[in-house]
């Protein structure tokens, strides 16, 4: 019998449960409705389609295109080697916050796209096996360990959001759940297509408390 049975999940890495809201001016915003490359390319052709309607830091109504950073998603045959994104800068000279906009399918903090991560840690028979290069064993172990760590902070965040659906998700798993259990409960309540079980929850968590991470 495993000595860990009946014990709470291990603590999450500090980087997963650390808020960035009060420490940084600017940061990353996730476009939760941009789920695929086709929609991303369409919006990149018109910066207004990605431009925030106000600065999240100061509320100023004007933001200018600041730069076009590149992302290099690894081991994902459904994406090109380079995905360009937009970064905006607040026009208020007293603020000047910069905001990078990421489509939902690109993980803010990982070298891989969410589809790649899910293919490794949450494989689905509903999805065809991709002919993608294998992820290094150390990377897979790290991802699985993060999903196996405590979701206490995330569950408290969802419960405090004020939304009935998110409160239901938090109540299903409880404060002693793992992040993997939280992913499963979120899909059970909210739904979602195979291959998109991690990204919607990760985007939601970042919106509720910028800097907190699912993985």
Please check the confidence at residue 171 and state whether its pLDDT lies above 90.
no
Write the pLDDT tens digit of every residue in 78-104.
999 999 999 999 999 999 999 999 999
Please check the confidence at residue 140 and state whether its pLDDT lies above 80.
yes
Write the secondary structure of 135-188 as one string of H (helix), E (strand) and C (coil).
Answer: CCHHHHHHHHHHHCCECHHHHHHHHCCCCHHHHHHHHHHCCCCEHHHHHHHHHH
At 211 the pLDDT is 87
At 22 the pLDDT is 65
Q: What is the mean pLDDT of residues 96-125?
A: 91
At 3 the pLDDT is 47
Write down the domain spans for the chain: 14-208
The model carries a pTM of 0.89
């Amino acid at each position: 019998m495993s000595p860990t049975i009946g014990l709470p999940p291990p603590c999450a890495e500090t980087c997963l449960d650390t808020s960035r809201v009060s420490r940084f001016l600017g940061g990353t915003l996730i476009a939760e409705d941009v789920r695929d490359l086709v929609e991303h390319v369409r919006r990149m052709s018109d910066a207004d389609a990605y431009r925030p309607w106000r600065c999240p830091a100061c509320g100023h109504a004007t933001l200018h295109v600041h730069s076009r950073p590149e992302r290099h998603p690894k081991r994902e045959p459904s994406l090109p080697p380079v995905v360009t994104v937009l970064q905006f800068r607040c026009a208020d000279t007293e603020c000047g916050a910069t905001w990078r906009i990421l489509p939902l399918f690109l993980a803010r903090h990982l070298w891989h796209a969410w589809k790649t991560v899910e293919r490794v840690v949450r494989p689905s028979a509903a999805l065809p096996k991709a002919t993608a290069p294998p992820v290094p064993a150390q990377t897979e172990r790290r991802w699985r360990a993060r999903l196996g760590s405590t979701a206490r902070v995330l569950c408290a965040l969802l419960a405090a959001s004020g939304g009935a659906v998110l409160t239901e998700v938090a109540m299903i798993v409880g404060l002693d759940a793992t992040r993997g259990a939280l992913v499963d409960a979120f899909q059970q309540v909210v739904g979602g297509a195979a291959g998109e079980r991690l990204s919607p929850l990760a985007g939601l968590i970042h919106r509720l408390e910028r800097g907190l991470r699912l993985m």
